[in-house]
A and B are shown apart, each in its own frame.
Chain A
Amino acid sequence: KAGVTQTPRYLIKTRGQQVTLSCSPISGHRSVSWYQQTPGQGLQFLFEYFSETQRNKGNFPGRFSGRQFSNSRSEMNVSTLELGDSALYLCASSPGQGSLYNEQFFGPGTRLTVL
């Protein structure tokens, strides 16, 4: 089975722009989560989706949004980019019915640099 794929892998934007990141989960996985990873803050939870419904949202400003499509693929969008948004954005998918004890399978991430 193919793993979780994220596109693009690298992205450079300037302040004020917006960006859309894409995640394709492992085939059959219906749960997708997004995380922001920075050296200082570690892994911060952004969103969790299951069957197109947002199940959880982290403590991020409204500039961060996401969605999940009927094929379980997910996108996240960041508007009005700030320098502090520079980070590695990780997507993860889980098997089964979205059970809380299922492990997550991570993609390689999208490295976003905001100049």
Chain B
Amino acid sequence: AQSVAQPEDQVNVAEGNPLTVKCTYSVSGNPYLFWYVQYPNRGLQFLLKYITGDNLVKGSYGFEAEFNKSQTSFHLKKPSALVSDSALYFCAVRFQSGNTPLVFGKGTRLSVIA
């Protein structure tokens, strides 16, 4: 069965510093990996995804993520955090074959402090 772990419930970072939000996954086979962000009282917004090819994926708002197959990780990164990046971040995985649903991690709350 596929699963996603976001080991940190909360990440605090100072504005201007680099940020990392961690995600590891478990899926038997090749995964499709996604990051979404949720702002207060809003639905989720898509940030980026890994399908195949280049392990470094660039997405919206200056975010990027690196797919690491050996470590089964897909950490979200940004070189310089903004206060407006403060939100709830979700990692999600889907098995590439078969008919399996998208599975989300429990989310990581990012706080960027001015």
Contact = CB atoms under 8 A, between A and B. Distances in A.
A33 interface: yes
Interface stretch (B18-26, B64-72, B76-84, B104-112): B104-112
A92 interface: yes
Interface string A1-22: 0001000000000000000000
B107 A55 contact: no
A115 interface: no
A42 B106 contact: yes
B34 interface: yes
Nearest to B106: A42
A58 B51 CA distance: 24
A107 B43 CA distance: 5
Contacts of B101: 33, 45, 48, 56, 58
A103 B103 contact: no
B107 A42 contact: yes
B104 A43 contact: yes
B94 A100 contact: yes
Contacts of B51: 101
A66 interface: no
Contacts of B104: 35, 42-43, 45
Interface of B: 32, 34, 36, 41-46, 49, 51, 90, 94-96, 99-107
Q: Which 10 A-B pairs have the closest CB atoms?
A: A106-B43, A42-B106, A43-B104, A103-B46, A106-B44, A56-B101, A45-B101, A101-B32, A101-B51, A108-B43
